């Protein structure tokens, strides 16, 4: 009997040693944080502003270059908080029962439209950033014109890499599925400004360029060295991104004070302006419940 007990203890120990250890989603999320990204406390008033049951709607007039000519465009930025699944990387249907899988995020939906001669373009991006300052969990981008459409998506993996998938009507860009090294998304910088601009790393960083830039310029989605700097005045800050291996620069102007509303931006490609946005109007609205015809006058208040 004593020998049997000893054998049982040995077998139990071997089983426990060989069984793979699992981590909770919270632990995994902390492990993938890019070292350069600081998780600083949220600003005073963050919950009161972003959790009032509304989204921030901002409309910009845009100068957009396409096919060597400047076009008049319009962009709507929709910032809103929601509960996200860390594992599935989709919006949760039942956040109350999600437990550790629940990740509160700040989501940006940006929609830009412009005409090119007889036909038009429609571009939409979505970026999902946890409010705790860890890297963006997911981003998507769609570009549609009369020639066809392109869909692009990135997902953060457990080891900090990003899975990037692209579906295009162009043969050279075909259907692609690749992994990228850990790096900041240029497209998540807009969310990070709203969360806490002081937490954005400066100096030379590994950055994955804008999905829209990569699509319109037919560039590979590959991490590049980029110098990130912040110019500050009492009322306005400007985030500047200059790539070392790409002829691209981005500057984003925003309010120095919380909630750090974005005032405008400028993109430079090959030392020429490719887009410039200027804020026209902004307001907080529960737009998802305002889809009746009676709410149409609200578009006037947003200068749409």
CB 269 within 8 A of CB 246: no
pLDDT value at 46 more than 80: yes
Report the relative pairing of strands 236-243 and 224-232 from DSSP bridges: antiparallel
User: Which pLDDT value is given to residue 40?
Assistant: 64
If you write DSSP's letter for every residue of 12-65 in order, what string do you get? HHHHHHHSPP---HHHHHHHT--TT---PPPPTTHHHHHTSS-EEEEEEEEEEE
Q: Write out pLDDT tens, residues 202-222.
A: 999 999 999 999 999 999 999
Burial 130-160 (b: 16+ CB within 10 A, else e): bbebbbbbbbbbbbeeeeeebebbbbbeeee
Mean pLDDT of 163-175: 89
In the structure, what pLDDT confidence band is assigned to residue 44 with cuts at 50, 70 and 90?
A: confident
CB 136 within 8 Å of CB 88 = no
260: alpha, beta or left? (left if phi > 0; alpha if psi -120 to 50): left
Cα–Cα distance list, 119 to 27, 60, 74, 114, 171 (Å):
49, 21, 15, 9, 22
Binned at pLDDT 50, 70 and 90, residue 285 comes out as very high
- Overall average pLDDT of the 55-65 stretch: 98
- The lowest-confidence range among 33-37, 282-286, 294-298 is 33-37
- In whole angstroms, give the CA distance from residue 19 to residue 44: 45
- Mean pLDDT across the stretch 30-47? 61
- Among residues 269, 158, 137, the alpha carbon closest in space to that of 216 is found at 269
């Amino acid at each position: 009997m004593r020998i049997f007990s000893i054998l049982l203890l040995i077998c139990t120990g071997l089983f426990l040693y060989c069984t793979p250890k699992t981590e909770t989603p919270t632990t995994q999320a902390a492990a993938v944080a890019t070292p350069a990204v600081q998780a600083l406390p949220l600003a005073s008033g963050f919950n009161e502003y972003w959790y009032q049951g509304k989204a921030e709607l901002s409309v910009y007039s845009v100068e957009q270059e396409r096919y060597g000519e400047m076009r008049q465009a319009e962009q709507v930025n929709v910032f809103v908080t929601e509960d996200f699944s860390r594992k599935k990387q989709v919006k949760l249907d039942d956040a109350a029962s999600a437990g550790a899988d629940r990740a509160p995020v700040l989501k940006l939906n940006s929609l830009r439209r412009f005409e090119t001669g007889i036909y038009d373009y429609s571009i939409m991006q979505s970026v999902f950033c946890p409010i705790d300052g860890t890297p963006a969990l997911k981003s998507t981008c769609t570009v549609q014109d009369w020639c066809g459409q392109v869909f692009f998506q990135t997902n953060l993996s457990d080891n900090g890499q990003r899975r990037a998938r692209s579906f295009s009507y162009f043969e050279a860009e075909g259907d692609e599925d690749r992994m990228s090294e850990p790096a900041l998304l240029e497209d998540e910088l807009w969310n990070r400004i709203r969360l806490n601009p002081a937490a954005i790393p400066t100096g030379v960083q590994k950055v994955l360029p804008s999905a829209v830039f990569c699509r319109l310029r037919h560039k590979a989605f590959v991490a590049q060295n980029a110098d990130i700097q912040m110019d500050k005045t009492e009322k306005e800050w400007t985030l500047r991104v200059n790539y070392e291996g790409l002829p691209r620069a981005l500057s984003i102007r925003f309010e120095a004070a919380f909630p750090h509303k974005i005032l405008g931006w400028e993109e430079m490609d090959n030392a020429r302006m490719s887009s410039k946005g200027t804020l026209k109007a902004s307001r907080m609205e529960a737009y998802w419940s305002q889809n009746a015809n009676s709410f149409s006058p609200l578009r006037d208040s947003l200068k749409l």
